[in-house]
């Protein structure tokens, strides 16, 4: 009897030890960790109702939205998030027509947009919620040129067809030692109303010394050039067309293996188009919106070392009050996730710039108050 009890005890202890070993192995396994660009389901608080959440707008945040949709719907069974691009202008229009619960835009709402939103935001209005930080790369495809440097006046003249040859003296002066071809510049711009265009032309307006005469606008106001739809379409054209230049968010430049120009800002050396350098510029951004709106003021004219100047903040547009009851809980749940540290980190691995905590904390508070 005593031997039997001892044997049973030994077997039980062995089983406990084996279970502990298996637990330790599982905890240390990469199979239980989210892959790069993914988020742990534990960081997502799902809405009870589920259902379908519709959004539309900015293509600049398209790759970020793909990351977020995958993580959120994977964690929240019974919930679907559909986000269609089409550009910032189209997104704001669809929002104000009541077709989507939120819209993505790379430029802040204009007074006319806010007034129009009151028709769908019962008792409230649309507000800007900064959600995605990014940078606009001047992407190019020029044989033999790997480290192109441009500045505000020269870039503005290129995109306005005032400079038409790659070996123009103004470009050569910024690129000593480079072999610039005697070739026509093939410049591309967005055909759709685009927040990316708005931010690029805001940079031109601040830094070109008058070379860019038009006011910043979501619609292209430069002369000549060729057009393409969306960031993806424009990037594809640059990849295919020799001696071309265009503009797109860094994530699209990375996906398409496109080269990005360094920008001469007056800093000690030209600034590379990197998320770290863009983050240095975002760190000085301030909230300029009022009455709950969180529109940002961006310093396109920065001359600080390692501060990339052509940045953009992409906003989610939502009603501060008067959101549709059927989707309000899911909207708040999804936006609470997208501004979370985990979600911001996830898109940081995809060429975006995680928003500073000083901005992110204010967005979290605003999302919690949506009604």
88 within domain boundaries? yes
Residues 212 and 336 in one domain: no
- Give every residue of the chain whose pLDDT is below 70, as ranges: 1-42
Query: Do 279 and 353 meet the contact criterion of CB atoms below 8 Å apart?
Result: yes
Q: Could you tell me the two tokens for 18?
A: 């084996």
pLDDT for residue 278: 96
Residues 128 and 153 in one domain: no
Backbone phi and psi for residue 90, each to the nearest 5 degrees, phi listed first: -65, -40
Residues 198 and 256 in one domain: yes
Backbone phi and psi for residue 351, each to the nearest 5 degrees, phi listed first: 95, 10
Domain span at residue 115?
A: 46-133+286-295+313-368
pLDDT for residue 347: 94
pLDDT for residue 349: 85
CB atoms within 10 A of CB 363: 22
pLDDT for residue 40: 54
Query: Do 310 and 135 meet the contact criterion of CB atoms below 8 Å apart?
Result: yes
Which CATH number goes with the domain that contains 356? 3.40.190.10
Q: Could you tell me the two tokens for 164?
A: 């038409």
Residues 213 and 85 in one domain: no
20 within domain boundaries? no
Boundary-marking domain end, from 261, 282, 303: 282
Residues 252 and 182 in one domain: yes
Residues 127 and 148 in one domain: no
Give the global pTM: 0.80
Query: Do 134 and 296 meet the contact criterion of CB atoms below 8 Å apart?
Result: no
Residues 219 and 320 in one domain: no
27 within domain boundaries? no
pLDDT for residue 193: 87
pLDDT for residue 234: 97
Query: Do 106 and 198 meet the contact criterion of CB atoms below 8 Å apart?
Result: yes
123 within domain boundaries? yes
Residues 211 and 147 in one domain: yes
Residues 318 and 185 in one domain: no
Contact partners, residue 135, CB within 8 Å, separation at least 6: 249, 250, 273, 275, 277, 278, 308, 310, 311, 312, 353
19 within domain boundaries? no
Residues 97 and 232 in one domain: no
pLDDT for residue 17: 36
7 within domain boundaries? no
34 within domain boundaries? no
Residues 59 and 80 in one domain: yes
Question: What's the domain count of the chain?
Answer: 2
Query: Do 263 and 270 meet the contact criterion of CB atoms below 8 Å apart?
Result: yes
For 307-333, write each residue's pLDDT tens digit.
999 999 999 999 999 999 999 999 999
For 276, counting Cβ atoms within 10 Å of its Cβ (0-12 exposed, 13-18 middle, 19+ buried), the class is: exposed
pLDDT for residue 298: 95
């Amino acid at each position: 009897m005593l031997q039997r009890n001892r044997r049973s005890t030994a077997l039980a202890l062995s089983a406990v030890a084996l279970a502990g070993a298996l637990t330790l192995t599982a905890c240390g396994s990469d199979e239980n960790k989210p892959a790069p660009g993914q988020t742990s389901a534990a960081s997502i608080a799902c809405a009870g109702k589920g259902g379908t959440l519709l959004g539309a707008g900015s293509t600049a945040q398209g790759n970020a939205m793909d990351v977020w949709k995958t993580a959120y719907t994977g964690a929240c069974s019974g919930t679907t998030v559909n986000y269609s691009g089409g550009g910032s202008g189209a997104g704001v229009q669809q929002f104000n027509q009541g077709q989507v619960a939120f819209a993505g835009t790379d430029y802040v709402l204009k007074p006319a947009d806010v007034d129009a939103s009151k028709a769908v935001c019962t008792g409230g209005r649309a507000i800007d919620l900064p959600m995605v930080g990014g940078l606009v790369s001047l992407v190019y495809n020029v044989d033999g040129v790997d480290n192109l440097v441009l500045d505000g006046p020269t870039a503005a003249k290129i995109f306005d067809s005032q400079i038409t040859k790659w070996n123009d003296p103004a470009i050569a002066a910024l690129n000593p030692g480079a072999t610039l071809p005697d070739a026509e510049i093939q410049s591309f711009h967005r055909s759709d109303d685009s927040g990316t265009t708005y931010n690029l032309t805001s940079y031109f307006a601040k830094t070109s010394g008058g070379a860019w005469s038009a006011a910043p606008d979501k619609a292209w106001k430069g002369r000549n050039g060729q057009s393409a739809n969306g960031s993806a379409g424009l990037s594809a054209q640059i990849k295919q067309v020799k001696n071309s230049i265009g503009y797109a968010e860094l994530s699209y430049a990375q996906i398409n293996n496109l080269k990005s120009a360094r920008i001469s800002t007056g800093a000690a050396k030209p600034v590379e188009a990197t998320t770290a350098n863009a983050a240095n510029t975002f760190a000085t951004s301030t909230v300029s919106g009022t009455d709950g709106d969180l529109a940002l003021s961006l310093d396109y004219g920065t001359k600080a070392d390692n501060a990339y100047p052509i940045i953009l903040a992409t906003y989610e547009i939502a009603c501060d009050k008067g959101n549709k009851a059927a989707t309000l809980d899911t909207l708040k749940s999804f936006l609470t996730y997208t501004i979370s540290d985990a979600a911001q980190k996830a898109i940081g691995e995809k060429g975006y710039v995680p928003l500073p905590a000083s901005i992110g904390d204010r967005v979290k508070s605003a999302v919690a108050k949506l009604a």
